[in-house]
Amino acid sequence: MENASRGAYAPLLTLSGFDFSRPQRALLFAVTLLWYVLILVGNGTIIVAVALDRAMHEPMYIFLCNLCVNALYGTLGFYPKFLADLVHRGPVSYGACMLQGYVIHSSTCGDFSILALMAYDRYVAICRPLSYHVIMTRARMWLFVFVSWLVPLVAMFMNTATLLGRALCGTTINRIYCVNWMVTSLACVPPPGNAAVGYFNMLFYFGHFVFVFYSYLYLVRTCLRSRESTRRFTQTCVPHVVSLLTFGGSTLLDLLYMRFGHAHISQHLSNFLAVEFLLIPPVINPLVYGLKLHKIRRTVMCLVLRGPKPGARPEVGCAGTDAA
């Protein structure tokens, strides 16, 4: 089939990694569906809590809310298609494959952008507390949110656009979901500009990771100077650090495997490494933020157990108080 398509546009592509028996498919479908429901419930709870509680309409929680929205956006590009393939595996059209790759890649870049915003917000709150509300105005906050969505979407559109309409000399993608880099490897002629755009995006978002990592190192060093700063860091920054390390480690592992993975690795381990960043961070993040951040925890308990109106005064409602 691949030889027949040589030099011509391949309308249908095949995803690999679905060599499961019928009982294995049934079990994997049930586990995957349960995991996806956990992702929806966990991230959806954070979003609803922030939306309903006016006390959390401030930058730190708005950025967190966008991180959860981005998690739902990215996992939407993988889980429904993967569940459908477990029920009935079939070829995927070139356009649908490119759309899936675009959603997953842009969501990954979006996570880095939002984590960078959260790091900057914590830097201003801890290192320049008297100027916090002057620097992080509502207008500037929403501008930052807009840019954190716009830049990843545009960056990944530029990458995807270089692949559109290319003649393919193969039809098999060695992944359980579509990846732009693997579609590129199927092209009969290397798409002009694709490598340049791809490496620019990688360096650009690696710069995001370096910025966030350095920011928290600086905050740790600063907070060690006073007990009050240490308390503020522990209350509001530890979840960000856990989120950064979890997501950064998962993404780096996937990137290294995709570029340098060994051909003799087992298919099951290959599948896990391919989807690790879509499995762990979307579940870990809501748990870490929900358990650590006082306002999130109290508002969720209010919504689930008691029912008073979130955002009410602490003595009559469930909204707590956190340091900015």
Indicate the pairing of strand 12-15 with strand 172-173.
parallel
Q: List strand residue ranges (DSSP E) for the chain, in order.
A: 12-15, 92-93, 172-173
Three-class DSSP category at 187? strand
pLDDT per position as a tens digit, 229-275: 666 666 667 777 777 778 777 777 777 666 665 556 676 777 777 78
Domains along the chain with CATH numbers: 12-306 (1.20.1070.10)
- Residue 68's pLDDT is 94
Residues 6+ apart with CB under 8 A from 282: 39, 42, 43, 71, 74, 75
pLDDT per position as a tens digit, 285-296: 888 887 767 778
Q: Comparing C-alpha atoms, which of 236, 234, 244 is closest to residue 295?
A: 236
pLDDT per position as a tens digit, 157-198: 988 888 877 778 888 888 888 888 788 888 887 777 777 888
Element (H, E) at 253: helix 238-260
pLDDT for 2 beyond 90: no
The structure tokens listed for 67 are 């991180």
Which residues make beta-bridge pairs with 93? 12
Label residue 237 exposed, middle or buried (CB < 10 Å: 0-12, 13-18, 19+).
Answer: buried
Q: Under a CB-based contact definition with an 8 Å cutoff, are residues 71 and 39 in contact? A: yes
pLDDT per position as a tens digit, 39-53: 999 999 999 989 988
- pTM here? 0.84
